[in-house]
Each structure stands twice: as structure tokens, then as C-alpha cells.
A and B are shown apart, each in its own frame.
Chain A
Amino acid sequence: MTDGTIDLSPFAPGSAPSAAPRRPSRRTRRSVLVVDAIANWTITIGGLGVILAVFGIMIFLAEVVWPLFSGSHVIAQSQAKLEGAASDVLTELVDEYRTIVVSVERNGHVAINHLATGRLIKSRKFEIGERKITTFARTLNGENVAIGFDDGTLRLGRIKIETTILKASIVPAGLKDLGHGDRTDGDAVYSVIDGDQVRRIAVSVDLDDPQRIAPEGVALVALDFRLGGTVERPTRSFVSIDASGAVRLSRLETKRSLLGGTNGQATVNSTDLPSLPAGTRVASMLMTSLADQVYVVDRAGTMFRYDTRDPQKPSLAERTRITPEGVRVTTLGFLVGEQSIVVGGSDGSVNVYFRLQRPGVDTADGFVLVKTHELERHSGEVVAFGASPRSKSFVTADAKGNVWVRHSTSNQTLLKLSAAESAVTAVAISPREDGIVAIGTDQAVWNWHIKMPHPETTFSSIFGKVWYEGYPEPGYTWQSSSGTDTFEPKFSLVPLIFGTIKAAFYSLLFAIPIALCAAIYTSEFVGPRVRNIIKPTMEMMASLPSVVLGFIAALILAPIVESWIAAIVLAFVVMPLSVFLGAYLWQFVPQNIALRVGGAGRMLLIGVVLVVGILLALSLAPWFELAFFGGDFKAWANGDVGSSRPFMTLLAWPASFVILSIAETRGYLPFMPGSGSSRQRDNALVDLGRWFAMLAASLALALLLATVLLAVGIDARGSVINTYVQRNTFVVGFAMGFAVIPIMYTIAEDALTAVPEHLRAASLACGATPWQTAISIIVPTALSGIFAAVMVGLGRAVGETMIVVMAAGNTPVIDLNIFSGLRALSANIAVELPEAVKEGSLYRMLFLAALTLFVMTFVLNTLAEMVRLKFRQRVTQM
């Protein structure tokens, strides 16, 4: 050992003196260890980061979506005593910033109190003299009020809340502190806000001259009014009922003098409406903005609806019970938009009614009141109602002091608040829907600061049928925006999911046969050299940007398909027929020549045959259109011309051919000639003849089938085929096929090629033909791989965006028609998300759409991957 070391030294004379550097240290250098550890950690964390990414995306999307289903909650609440209030509160108003509350009392007092503390800021009085207020009405925003008196007169009033933003420096000095950062000068409230500024809120109250509606001394018992007309000639419409039971529709016009005089001449024109039955005790009445409908409810719960579209000829259009026997109507009011009527009953029921046009109803104008939403019942009598000025939310209160915030369209109770055990006389939702204010009989005021960001969405409103205002029945609707102010967004994902599935279904109908057949042919019937060219060519299709496919589909293909639709339908018939005819003729070619031509040569031949088929289809198209579609495909599809029997026969043809083929192989058709000859030419001839016979027989069967189907009422036209739209599912299906075929083809081809070679060899060695080997050995073995290919293709089709954005027309309808447009989830996101307000309902709904897509593809991909792993295991074990 030592000798050896000494022997070595002469070979390295230069480094001999110091032995230490020669012998490397056994210990690994510290830096190497550190770097190794860092790499270890980085790579492990990075690798596991992928899992994090997938679930992170899902969790993030879910987190954004979640408030759609929860959301509403109370942020703060307070209770105070209204200072200076004396009698019943008729109505209350809250300003936009929930600083003050204005209450109108039965004695004509208008009190303005600080909401948080209840302290009186100012008290005004409507100058009503000796008269007594007998009835009262207000507009939804509360700015305009009408007061009816016991002497048969009526006065209009205005309560205006004015908000101004001031610089802090110009706020007058010597203000009285109200607490909560608010101060008052006995007239207005000053609140400190951000940016060195102060908000001033002041209320002005005024009352117009009395107008006589009913005869002297006859009290008005119910009234409602609406404002209209122009600034120069404002009109006010009233509807009123007096103590004698007379119902009047009146119009008050004020002509302003051109010289700028403030008070012009006011004139009242009244029309008598058909009177109510004697003894009716009117509870409440309502009128629409256009003054075309008047609703009167008596205490027993009967609704009288007047049609006043023609003010000269008003009629009592409908009379119906809106509460069960023995239940009084206690509150009545419109929601914003004035189409929904909310009826509160003495049994605690809260129901919403729509006026809908129904054929065959016995009312005078063809409309009828329909109960559309039945909301959760209060346990006691409903005593107060307040509607939101901006959505279909409203608040109801019962005699036990429960104050519930509800939403009409989504049928839900958003919040259940409680005003202790006192009776509530008035409730209101603040203009920004961030507060609820209730006033009790004992002049107590409850103030809840709430947040209800998405009152219109519930799980069932998104995925179930919803009855929207103005719609004849509940349905699935997606409509996120519109021009009008009172528009209610309609968020149902069902039409979008349907559109996604429809587009994916039709594209797979086209893509699956082509991709899978092409994969089988590539892996089994062409040589490796040809395959090495074909496969990359097909895969090249995968790298085509989908925006290009969409553009070509929408701007080039769609117009072509539209003008040549008959030829294209015919091509679906002619091309398979010509390919099969080619195959039967090819059987005449001696086998040794056929073998020499091989798979690639056969493809060339097939190409020629296909071209011939297409040319044939083009030239036969006019004849075909005349014979099958009455000369005009689009009119035929619309159901205008022609009969659907020829086309149904065509549709049933392939199915009946398959049925007959199965019958034949089972031996049920003994009269078919067999091919027992030893000469190939004879066999081929018999085969061809048999094919023709089968075609003819199956055509006859198809005709029979079509007749039977039509007789039982199954018709492709009107369901699967209907009115033609240029950008339609057919075009989308074709273009999306382009996007889906390559991925399906590649995966399926890989699966087929992965089948071990010895299986193939064994089968061929046993005497099976390549066709038999392929169809009974290879394909069954690779079936799970092929299934995975279809799943992945489906996932791709579901998520494809640009093609559906561009070529699908983006109409969110639920319709099986292959010639109509659609709107897919993905397209909907791409079109609407750039416009959506951050964290608004639409924004979250689109995130929900994305989450839905994510979950759909997650399931498909995980399934495919698991099947594929199984397949790989099985193949390696073979």
C-alpha cells in the first residue's frame, strides 16, 4: 500500500511537495451542501406549486363567487326616540346618506330628525287648517306626496332633500353638535366627510293649493297619484275614492304663464270610473305611471282593476280575490317599475302579483292578475311596507315588530330584523339600499345599517326557473344589461350552459368520427414513413390559433354555408355513398395489386372519389333542394314550404341500414345471396349487388320509419332543424371540429400505437386480416385510451372561446335547432367581463360562469387522466 503511493509520486513531480491538495477531502464542501439543499427545497416547493396553482385558481374563483349566495348582513344598528313626534306616522323618508329621517304625521306635522340620535332638527307643518287628513299617497322616492282631506279636497306636497358638498372652511360657525360627526344649525345637517369637505343636507317642504275632487263635505278615503307631462305643462293624475263610493280619475294641469309667473292656472278634469259595488270598504288603491291601470283593494281582499288606457272610456276590467277568505289586505304597494304589486295580508302572507296577458281569460282586456311570487310568511299581520327605489327589494314589517328585507324576483328573505315588541307603523329602505329604518307607534326609530350586495341571486335563481316581471311564465333567462333604468338584470346560467353543451355536442358529432377513424387508419393501415408525414400535418392543425378559425368560420364559411346549404346537406349523403361505392368497385381489383397499392395509395384514390362526390353534390344541389326542400331550404327549415317526410327518410336511412346489416349478419335475411364463389371477381360482383340491394331495402325501411315517426309526431323539422340564422351551430360545430380533431386524433393515435406489437403479430399470424386485427384486437385493447381522447376533446370543445364568440351569434336561447345561434359560457365571459363593474353582481356571475367551466373541464380531464393511467398500466402489463 505505502509502496504504491511512493511509486506514484514520480508521475506527478510538480505537486509532490504538498500531499494535502493531492488527497481530496472526504468531507463535501459546505457550499455544495447548501446549494444542494436550496435546490432540493426550491424544486420540491416549485413542483408542489402546480397543485397549489390548480386548487388556488378554483378557490380564488369560488371566493369571488361566494358573496352571490350569502352577502346580506347587518353592519350596525341603533335605536332612538324620535324627538318631538306626537301622533301616527303616515310615511317616512331617509336621505341617501342615512343622516336624517323625515316623518309625516297624521296631524300634518313634518318632523326632520337626526337618524342616529333621534334628535329633532326642525319641525315643519303642512298648513292644513281645520281639515283632517283622511288619506295619503306618495311616490316611490317619497319626494311627492298627496294628501286627501275630510272635506273632499286634495293637496299636493313636496318633500325635497337637498344634498350639497361644501368646503369645510365655509361651514357657518356656532353649530349644535348632534354626535356621530354631525352638526346642525337648526335647519340643515352638516356631516364631515373625506377630503376636508362637509356634506350639507337640508329639507324643504311645501304644499300646493287645495283642489276639490269630491263634493263638499264628502271625505276622500283612498287616493293615488302620478306625475307626468312636461316641465312647461306638468300634469298630475289622481285617482280617488270618496266616502260615497265614487271612484274618480282626475287630471290636474297647470299652465305656466310664459312671462315666468310662478303660479299658473290649475284646472281639474275628472272622469267617473265605474263605481264599486255598494258596501265596499276600500282599503287602498294604486295607479301606474301612465295612468292606464288603477287597482282598488277592499278590506275583504277583493281587487278591482280598472283599465283606463282610454281615459274617456274607463272600464272595470277585472275583479278577483287576492287573499283567501277571511284574510284582510293590510298593505299594498308597487315595486320599482310598477309592474309588481306586493300584497300583505292580515295572516302575515306577502305575495307578489303581475298583470299578465293570457289568452282565453274572461277579463275585459285580456289581462289577468297572477300571483307569481309567494314569499315567506310573517307570523303576525303585515302592517308596513317599503319598496326600494332601485331594485326589486322591499321591506315588510308585522305587528310583532319583525322587519324583514326581501327580494321579489329571487323569492328570498334577505334579512330578518326585529324591532322588539313594538308595533311598527312605517318602514323604509334607504335610497342606496344600505339601510332600513322603522318607526314604531311609540315614536321609537330603529336604524339598521345593512349590506345586501347581491339580493337578486340565489342558487335556485341562477340554475332554476325564475319568473321575471313582464314574462308570461317562469323561465331561464340571461340578460345582463339593457337601456332602461328600471331594468332588472336576469342571471340564469342555464341558457349559457346549454349553449356550451350544444356547441360541444355538435362539434363532437363532426369531430369524433373523423378524428377516431383517421387515428385508426393512421396507426393500422399506413406505413411508418407515411405516418411520419401525416401525423405532424394533423398536429399542425392544433397550433392554428382559434381566433383565425373563428374569423374564417364567421366571415368566410358562414356566408358560403348559407348560400350552399342544400349542397352541403346533400354532400353528407353523397360523400359516404361515393366512398362506399368506390370501396365495392375496388374489390374487383385483384388482391395482389390492391396490396401493392397499400394504405397511402388507397388514400389518394379516396381523395379522388371524395372530390367526385363533392362535385356531384354541387351539381345535384338544385334538384335536391327542389325534391326534398320544396325548392328553398331556408323556407323549408322555417316550416313554410314542403313536407318533412323526404328529409326524415334521409335521416332514418343510416339507422335503417345499420339495422338491416345487423339483421343480415345474424342471418335473419336468408334471401340475400351469399358469396361462396372462389373467384374474386364473382365475389366482388355479388358483394356490390348485395350492397345495392341493402341500400334499396334500407331506403324503403327508412321511408316506413319516417312515416311512422311523423305519424306519432316526431319531426326533425321544428326541433332539431328550424329557422336558419347565418351564424349558427352548424358552422360553429364545423369550425370547432377543427380545434378539437387534432388533440383527439393525437391522443387516440398514441393509444392505438401503444398497443404492444406482439398482439398485432399474433393476430395476423393466426390468419386474421389487417381489418380483423384492427377492429377486434387493437381497438378493443386501446378503447380506454380512445375514451380518454374523447374526454379531452370534449373538454377542449367546452372551453373553446374565440370560435363561439365570433361564429355563434351570441344569442342566449335554449333551442335544439342546429341552424340557430347560441351563447356559450366562455363567449359570454369574453364579451361581458370587460364591461362588468368590479365586484358587482354581473362580475361575480361571470366568475361563477368561469368556475362552472373550470369544474366541467376539471371533471372531464381528471376522468380522462385516470382512465389513461389505467390504460398505460394495462398495456405495460401485456
Chain B
Amino acid sequence: MNTATIDQAAIQAVKVPTAVVRRSTATALSARGEPFMWALGAALTVGIVMVIGFLLFVFWNGLVTFVPKPVAVVTLKSGTMVAGEPTRSEFYRLSPDAMRALPPAEAEKMATNGGYGHRTLYRIGNYDLYNEDFRWVPDHVVGNIDYPKDVIFVERLEWGVFVGRIKSVKIGDRDLASPTPRDPALLAAHEEARARWQTIRHIERDLIGHVNHDLEALRLDVRHAEIIYGPSSGQAEKARAAEAAQVPALKAEYDRLTAEAARLKSIDQLNAITLADIAGKEKVLPLSNLVRFYPANDLSFFDKVSIYLSRWGEFLSDEPREANTEGGVLPAIFGTVAMTLLMVLVVAPIGVITALYLREYAKQGRLVSIVRISVNNLAGVPSIVYGVFGLGFFAYGIGAHIDDLFFPERLPAPTFGTGGILWSALTLALLTVPVVIVATEEALAAVPRSMREGSLACGASKWQTIKNIVLPRAMPGIMTGIILAMARGAGEVAPLMLVGVVKLAPTLPFDGYFPYVHLERSFMHLGFHIYDVGFQSRNSEAGKPMVFVTTCLLIGVIAFLNLAAIVIRSRLKRRFAGSQF
């Protein structure tokens, strides 16, 4: 009985699958789900194209910014001349009013084009003469475009670029006859004027700055003594005496330096260049005011390369000018690096300790899951909230107390009681600590249990085991975490806007005055520089090239850090690869 039923069941069971198998030799199209897979694939493709396209766009724009471009001289149909670097061109829709103003033939042409015209944006410079840096020139008003060889492109210390011709040059009491941009006498005089300008800047900023610093220090000493010991105490008397003794000498030094600067400036005024714009409007400038000039349409490949490199050199090693839209970003690079390193000093120990607690010390239970959820929350809290916390707690809370205790003589001007590089670093440390924790935890988990047990069995204490066995093996992961934290920290801007970043920092956080490291000072930052130049400058178009280069640099730094993380991880992994039981 039993066997019979089983047999029948078996036969039926066998029969059904055969039918299925035969039908499925040609899979039904709906089962393949080809359209849906294409949709999924399209999403991924869009994602990848977005990333790569974005990076290429930024890098391309950043890298071509410093390439010297030819200067076009456009003669309009009305006879007016416009000279400038063609920046970009686009199709645009003409407003109905503009359409009506067109001559009928042009209007007809536009109409066939769907009302679209084409226009080019020229960087015309000469802001002091025209009150604009850029001008759109629609194609239909252009008569003739020309690239004359004698047009020069001048980068100035003030008012941005100048596009035009050299009219005359006065060096000392002698005039150059028919000056050209390549005249060796002109180049030599320019070199000399720049050197002189550097000297003047050195005197005004460094030497006079030093005198002012000393005067301020004396004044603060007196105030400090008066506040701490009372205005009529012996200490205060002594401080006042010291001030009285030193001030005359400093004042004399100050006068001597100002006189020297004035003398150099008067020499500087004797070396002047007269430039004329394309319409012949003249402008006289001291030679020292010219950063760089070149005949834009008469450059060899070598010239172009050297101008390109010299612009990069200036960008990386100089200070910003012209409301940050020209010059370099050295203080911003310095600020970014210094703040990030300071942050690492804080974030590394905290992150590693927390990860050690989670992996090595804590009993896995409810408490640990609460810590984990907290870590995840720290990672997920918006960065701006950290900024608010940093401002309220660090700067206005702790900082204000530090001021009361240690710097009462400077009040009401805050020292630590306002945003600064230390508070920024601490704020970002809070923000990036989860990155270190997660990476360290993973690294600790990857250290084989057998190694710990071996060490403990040999009689090592728990801490000895961690210090000598676990941590060295986990180092690659920890390093990776730290570097990733640096990358995250270097790109964060929003919290810094609240706790210490400024558009232009007069002094760096490190200098030659005791105590050399000034953690209370505000600083410049590449990310904030992008925001500031792109959004707060007088003309966002003028700032755009600078923003692209800065962006390029910032992404470069972050990409470098990310790459370093990957390389270090693989290096150290290889070194420890053989050390497992």
C-alpha cells in the first residue's frame, strides 16, 4: 500500500518538473526583466557619469584658468571697440524689446532660430575706467574681430586687469622711446620696482608691525598689573616704569621706519608707466603696481608655459589681494592644514580610545549598543549643529572663562572668547571622531583573537597585550581612519563659519612673537575662500576663475588624503600580512 502511493507520488513529482524544464529552455522575456535591468543600469550610469563629469569639469576649469588667453579686439558695427579675453559664449533668448530694436534682417534671422541669439562674454578689465569687468557682446553687433600684436594684458595690484597698449614709460628721469612690452629696460625697471615694493611691504608690515606689537605688549603689561595687583601696587608701578623707559625708543624706531618707507615710496612714484585702453583713454600707474604684463597675442609656447607656471607659483605662495579674487591663497592653505593637523591631535586619541573601549574593554550588551547608536548619531548630526555647539560651548563658554582668568587686560576685546583655530579644531574633532572610531573598530576586529590569547597566555597584562600586539596590527586601519577624518575635516565649511574662519586673516596662527603659537586667532580656509569669493565678492564672474582654481586645490588635497589612506592601508597590510598565527 505504502510503496504504491509513494511510487505514484514520485511519478507525478517527476512529471511536473520535466514539463517546467522543457518550457524554460527559452526563458520568458518577462522573466529576464530586461527593461528593468536597463533602468537600474541607467541609474548607475547616471551616478557614475555625474561623479566623473563633475570632477572633470572642475579640474578642467581649474587647470585652464591660468593659461594666458589671446586678447580679441572687437570692432562693433557702431564703431565702438571692445578689447578683452573671450571667456565663454552661449546661446540666449532675446527679450521681445531687444527683438524689436533689431534691424529687420537680423530679427528675421533670429526668429528662424527660435528667438535665440549667440553672444560672447569678454573679460574687458579696466574696472577703474569702465566700472565693469566683463561685457557680453552679441554676435549680431560685431563688425570685425582682430588680434593685434601690440595689445598687452596687465595684472595690477589694484582694480584688476588692464587691457590696452603701452603709451609711455618713465624710469627715474628718463623716458623710454617707443616702449614695447619686451623692452629689456622696461623689464629690468619693473623687476626693480617690484623688489622695492616688496621692501616697502616688509617695512610697513613686518618691521612696523613688530614695533606696534611691542608697544601693545607694554600697554597690556601695565593693564594686567593694574587689574591683578591694583592700580597703585608696586607691580603696576614697575610695569609703568618699564613702559615709560621703552616707549621713546620704540617711537623713534617707528618714526625712522615710516620715514624710510616714505623715502622708498617717493622713489617708487618716479617709475611710472602710462597705459592706454583700446579707445585711447590713458591711465598712469607706478611700475610697482604691475604684477605681470605680457603681449597677449604675441606669445610663444614657451612664454605661455612660463606665464602659466608663474601664475600657479603666485597662487600657491602669495597672499590674496583684490578682495581675495586675485593673488594667492597661501594663508588659506596654511590655515586649512594647520587646523586639520590640530584636529588630528585631538581626534586620534579620542577615537582610538573609544574604539578600544567598544572592542576590547566593554562587555557586549545594552550599554555598548547605546554607545554605538551615539557614535552613529555623532556621525549623522548636521555639521552646522556642531558649529552652533562650538560657538556656544567652546568660544562663548570655555573661551570666555579663559579670558576672565588669564587675559583680563584685553577685555572687553575677546581673546579666546570668540572664534579661533583651536575652537574650530575641537569642533571638527567632534564631527570627525566617528570616522576614526568606526575605522579603528574594524581594524581591531581584524586582529585575530588567537594573537590576543597568545599574548595573554604568555603572561602579558591586558594593556600590554593591547599596546604591543593589538595596536601595532591595527595601525593600518587606525591610520586610514585618521586620514579619512582629515579628508572629512578639510572639506567642512559650515561649522567653521561660526567658530573662527574669516575671509581675510591679518595674522597667521603661528608667528615670531611669544608664545609663537596663537591658537586663539581666526584663520583662513580654502573651503570658506570658495564661498567667500564666489558669493561675497563685487563681481562673481571676476571671482569665478579663482574659485575654480581653489576648488581644484581643495579637491586635490582631499583626493590626496584619500589616496594616502588607501596606500597606507595596503602598505601596512602587506607588512603585517605574514604575522598571523
Contact = CB atoms under 8 A, between A and B. Distances in A.
B29 interface: yes
B369 interface: yes
B498 A833 contact: yes
A791 B35 CA distance: 28
B355 to A, nearest CB: 8
Interface string B373-385: 1111111111111
Interface residues of A, number: 113
Contact of A64 (B370, B392, B463, B466): B392
Given A603-B44, A798-B382, A862-B377, A829 B491 contact: no
B92 A582 contact: no
Contacts of B51: 537-538, 540-541
Nearest to B23: A678
Interface string A507-529: 00000011111101110010000
Contacts of B29: 587, 675, 683-684, 687
A857 B40 contact: no
A767 B24 contact: yes
Interface stretch (B162-170, B192-200, B218-226, B550-558): B550-558
A51 B33 contact: no
A148 interface: no
B534 A57 contact: no
Interface in B424-445: 430, 433, 437
Contacts of B367: 48
A767 B392 contact: no
Given A32-B464, A50-B354, A622-B114, A545 B554 contact: yes
B125 to A, nearest CB: 20
Interface in B388-418: 388-389, 391-393, 396
A534 B493 contact: no
Interface string A689-710: 0010000000000000000000
Interface stretch (B72-80, B233-241, B298-306, B356-364): B356-364
Interface string A448-486: 000000000000000000000000000000000000000
Given A51-B371, A580-B38, A799 B389 contact: no
Interface string A563-604: 100000000000110011011101100010000000100110
- Centre residue among A50, A602, A680, A866 by max chain B CB count within 10 A: A50
A541 B354 CA distance: 28
Residue of A538, A551, A563, A584 with highest tally of chain B CB at under 10 A: A551
Contact of B497 (A32, A767, A834): A834
A858 B381 contact: yes
Interface residues of B, number: 108
B468 interface: no
A28 B528 CA distance: 55
A47 B440 CA distance: 13
B370 A51 contact: yes
A806 B493 CA distance: 12
Nearest to A540: B51
Contact of B48 (A534, A554, A771): A534
B41 A521 contact: yes
Interface in A808-834: 826, 829-830, 833-834
A534 B380 CA distance: 25
B60 interface: no
Contacts of B384: 799, 801, 826, 829-830, 850, 853
B54 A552 contact: yes
A70 to B, nearest CB: 18
A76 interface: no
B535 interface: yes
B562 interface: yes
B387 A545 contact: no
B388 A846 contact: yes
Contacts of A769: 27, 31-33
A44 B531 contact: no
Contact of A738 (B50, B459, B497): B50
B48 A583 contact: no
Given A543-B558, A865-B376, A829 B388 contact: yes
A796 B382 CA distance: 7
B494 A830 contact: yes
A637 to B, nearest CB: 15
A546 B114 contact: no
B47 interface: yes
A43 B38 contact: no
B34 A586 contact: yes
B47 A806 contact: no
- Residue of B29, B47, B50 with most chain A CB atoms under a 10 A cut-off: B47
Nearest to A40: B361
A544 B540 contact: no
Contacts of B39: 517, 576, 579-580, 583
Given A579-B42, A602-B41, A833-B391, A54 B534 contact: no
B570 to A, nearest CB: 13
Candidate in A39, A545, A680, A860 with the most chain B CB atoms within 10 angstroms: A545
B166 to A, nearest CB: 35
Given A517-B39, A607-B45, A741-B47, A43 B353 contact: yes
A22 interface: no
A61 B116 CA distance: 54
Interface string B1-37: 0000000000000000000110010111111111111
Interface centre among A47, A792, A801, A802 (most CB of B within 10 A): A47
A691 B36 CA distance: 13
Nearest to A844: B392
A768 B33 CA distance: 11
A846 B384 CA distance: 11
Contacts of B437: 50
A35 B26 contact: no
A795 interface: yes
B488 interface: yes
B375 A60 contact: no
Contact of B463 (A39, A586, A869): A39
Given A44-B357, A862-B377, A865-B373, A545 B558 contact: yes
A747 to B, nearest CB: 11
Contacts of B518: none
A583 B554 CA distance: 41
A148 to B, nearest CB: 49
Given A47-B357, A50-B378, A799-B381, A583 B38 contact: yes
Given A44-B361, A802-B531, A50 B374 contact: yes
Contact of B498 (A514, A830, A838): A830
B41 A525 contact: yes
Which of B41, B58, B92, B488 gathers the greatest number of chain A CB atoms within 10 Å?
Answer: B41
B114 A610 contact: no
Nearest to A799: B382
B411 to A, nearest CB: 13
B37 A862 contact: no
A46 interface: yes
Contacts of A587: 29, 32, 34
List 9 A-B pairs, minimum CB-CB distance, nearest first.
A799-B382, A47-B357, A771-B33, A545-B491, A517-B43, A46-B353, A801-B494, A583-B38, A861-B380
Given A545-B491, A563-B90, 4 more contacts: A35-B463, A44-B361, A521-B40, A799-B385
15 contacts: A48-B371, A51-B371, A514-B43, A517-B43, A548-B527, A563-B92, A606-B38, A610-B46, A675-B29, A741-B47, A769-B27, A771-B37, A826-B382, A826-B384, A829-B387
Interface of A: 28, 32-33, 35-36, 39-40, 42-44, 46-51, 53-54, 57, 60-61, 64, 513-518, 520-522, 525, 534, 537-538, 540-541, 543-548, 550-552, 554-555, 563, 575-576, 579-580, 582-584, 586-587, 591, 599, 602-603, 606-607, 609-610, 622, 675, 678, 680, 683-684, 687, 691, 738, 741, 745, 767-769, 771-772, 775, 792, 795-796, 798-802, 805-806, 826, 829-830, 833-834, 838, 846-847, 850, 853-854, 857-858, 860-862, 864-866, 869
